[in-house]
């Protein structure tokens, strides 16, 4: 399931992020690449563990913690500390699949990458190219979203970033280990949760159908989740 999450960060928060990012020192993006990615990747990245990366990553995780739609879709168990990249001057990232296991350098923190996330930090009209292209069961899906919006998609998907031919594409990217590792099960729970919330508004939370569906949701979550 590929999902667009609007306004994860407000425009003011994006501006604060960009002020810090534009003043930071960037390095070759292959500093965090695996063998496959190193051949495909052409961009710059904020060094992992730098003061700016930590502070901005904490702000993003705080925003995610307040985002009910993100929780419903991802059912997060662990979130890898957000990283930051930028593309310009023809930079791009050829088709690849993300590593199944991500480990935070110098620590024993590691996650299984069930979901990948890209949080856009540049307005789409400020650069040409830079679309995130994701292959799924419905064909090629493309995302080039307003600054502050995020796209969430299975980490197992083949994906690429098309070359940026004008301006600068800036984004945060990270991975999530879900309590429910199967994408189709997560999609079922997400749809069921959405329908329960809609019915709750229409009928009230004490409606018999709402109560029944809520029980079904939690029983499925109990069966499928590892917490």
pLDDT per residue as tens digits for the range 67-89 = 999 999 999 999 999 999 999 99
* Structure confidence at residue 35 (pLDDT): 56
The average pLDDT across 48-66 equals 95
Q: Which residue has the higher pLDDT, 17 or 38?
A: 17
Residue 33 has pLDDT above 60, yes or no: no
Of the candidates 121, 183, 111, the one whose C-alpha atom is nearest the C-alpha of residue 151 is 121
Q: Which of these ranges, 54-58, 104-108, 134-138, 142-146, has the smallest mean pLDDT?
A: 134-138
| pLDDT, position 37 | 57
The residue that leads in pLDDT, 39 or 141, is 141
- Please tell me the predicted confidence (pLDDT) of residue 30: 76
| Model-wide pTM > 0.85 | yes
Give the pLDDT of residue 39.
Answer: 64
């Amino acid at each position: 399931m590929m999902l667009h999450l609007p306004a994860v960060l407000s425009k003011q928060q994006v501006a604060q992020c960009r002020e810090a990012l534009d003043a930071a020192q960037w390095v070759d993006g292959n500093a965090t690449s695996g063998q496959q990615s190193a051949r495909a990747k052409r961009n710059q990245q904020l060094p992992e563990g730098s003061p700016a990366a930590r502070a901005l990553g904490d702000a993003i995780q705080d925003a995610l913690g307040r985002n009910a739609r993100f929780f419903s879709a991802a059912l997060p168990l662990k979130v890898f500390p957000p990283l930051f990249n930028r593309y310009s001057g023809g930079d791009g990232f050829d088709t690849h699949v993300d590593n199944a296991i991500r480990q935070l350098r110098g620590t024993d923190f590691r996650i299984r990458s069930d979901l990948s996330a890209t949080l856009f930090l540049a307005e789409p009209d400020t650069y040409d190219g830079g679309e995130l292209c994701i292959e799924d069961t419905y064909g090629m899906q493309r995302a080039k979203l307003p600054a502050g919006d995020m796209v969430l998609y299975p980490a197992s998907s083949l994906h690429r970033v098309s070359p940026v031919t004008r301006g600068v594409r800036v984004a945060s990217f990270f991975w999530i280990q879900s309590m429910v590792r199967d994408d189709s099960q997560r999609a079922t729970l997400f749809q069921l949760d959405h329908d329960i919330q809609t019915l709750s508004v229409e009928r009230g939370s004490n409606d018999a159908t709402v109560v029944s569906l809520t029980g079904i949701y939690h029983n499925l979550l109990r069966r499928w989740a590892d917490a």
